[in-house]
Amino acid sequence: MNEFLSQNYFLITHSVEFLAAGTGLFFYKKYKSTAVIYFIWFLVYSAILDFSMLYVRFFKTFGIYDVIEDTIFEKNYWLATIFWVIGSTIFYVFYFQKIISNPKLKTILNFTKWIFILLSILILEYNYTTLYNGNITILDVVSTLAVFFAISLYLYEVLNSDRILIFYKSINFYISATVLVWWLVITPLGFYELYFSTADWNFVFLKWQIFLFANVFMYVTFTLALIFCKPQYD
């Protein structure tokens, strides 16, 4: 299993990401009149971003690692933190703000979005050196809370409307449930980032396994939801 992970982890992860993004683009016309188009473009963004984070491997493969060695770009933590942890959180809060119809809840989410942006700036300023060397755990937690809050408001509105009768037909329900599970599974790993090194290969492989299964679950669910759900139910 460990050998399989070391050889195929990135291939499988990027395959399911591009599968979801490609499926979204294929069914783009189907969701053209709904907020799901924002989600489709986010899937494209996610796939490209995750692939771009392989730049360190690229520099090593082509023997030009010395170009970024001992610089702030030596590791890709900065890219993941700014464009995934912060970027994806802002998107999800924005997305649920789009699909919620209650004006008060929309206002609350808009306020949440700007509070998160402000907190992110302050956290990055305080943890500037960590940004280039590892995960910023407090930012991961704040990010999870913001996404969890946005999903909670969406589900609250669904529970208090007629949409609860056909919730299982809504693509937004599957998006919210899947994102919630993924975030709750992945976030705790940040507390153990200290052990993610060649000094502890057991944790490295465990983390890869968790990330792999979580990513496959998330992107395959997104793919199936895009194929089988009908936008008119939202």
Residue-wise over 14-41: b if at least 16 C-beta within 10 A, else e?
bebbbbbbebbeebeebbeebbbbebbe
pLDDT at 138: 93
End-to-end CA distance of the chain: 41
What pLDDT is stored for residue 64 in this prediction?
Answer: 86
Q: Is the pLDDT of residue 233 over 70?
A: no
CA distances from 150 to 79, 139, 164, 207 (A): 24, 17, 18, 27
CA atoms within 13 A on the CB side of 70: 1
Q: What is the mean pLDDT of residues 218-222?
A: 97
The gap from C-alpha 48 to its chain's centroid, in whole angstroms, comes to: 12
Q: What mean pLDDT is reported for the chain? A: 89
pLDDT of 202 strictly over 80: no
Rounded Cα distance between 154 and 92, Å, is: 11
Nearest to 233 by CA among 164, 159, 160: 164
**pLDDT for the residue numbered 198:** 56
Structure tokens at 139: 């930012």
In which band, very low, low, confident or very high, does the pLDDT at 234 lie, cut at 50, 70 and 90?
very low
What angle do the packed helices 171-186 and 36-52 form, to 10 degrees? 30
Residue range 21-78, pLDDT digits in tens:
999 999 999 999 899 999 999 999 999 999 999 898 888 888 888 888 888 888 888 9
pLDDT over threshold 90, residue 187: no
Q: How many domains does the chain have?
A: 1
- Alpha-carbon distance of 140 to 81, in angstroms, equals 9
CA distances from 217 to 15, 111, 182, 225 (A): 13, 31, 8, 12
Model pLDDT, residue 17: 96
Q: Which of 22, 79, 8, 6 lies closest to 219, judged by CA?
A: 22
Cα separation, 217 vs 186, in Å, equals 12
pLDDT of residue 118: 97
Of the pLDDT bands very low, low, confident and very high (cuts 50, 70, 90), residue 131 is confident
At residue 135, the pLDDT reads 85
d(CA 12, CA 218): 13
What's the pTM? 0.91
User: Could you report the per-residue pLDDT of 70-126, keeping only the tens digit for each?
Assistant: 888 888 889 999 999 999 999 999 999 999 999 999 999 999 999 999 999 999 999
Return d(Cα 23, Cα 221) in angstroms, integer. Answer: 12
**pLDDT, position 1:** 61
Question: How does residue 149 score in pLDDT terms, banded at 50, 70 and 90?
Answer: very high
User: What secondary structure letter does DSSP report for 191?
Assistant: G
Report the alpha-carbon distance of residue 106 to residue 110 in Å, rounded.
6
Residue found under tokens 């001992």: 70
Report the C-alpha dihedral over residues 145, 37, 156, 158, rounded to 10 degrees: -160
Domain that holds residue 19: 2-233
* d(C-alpha 80, C-alpha 54), whole Å: 11
**pLDDT(175) > 60:** yes
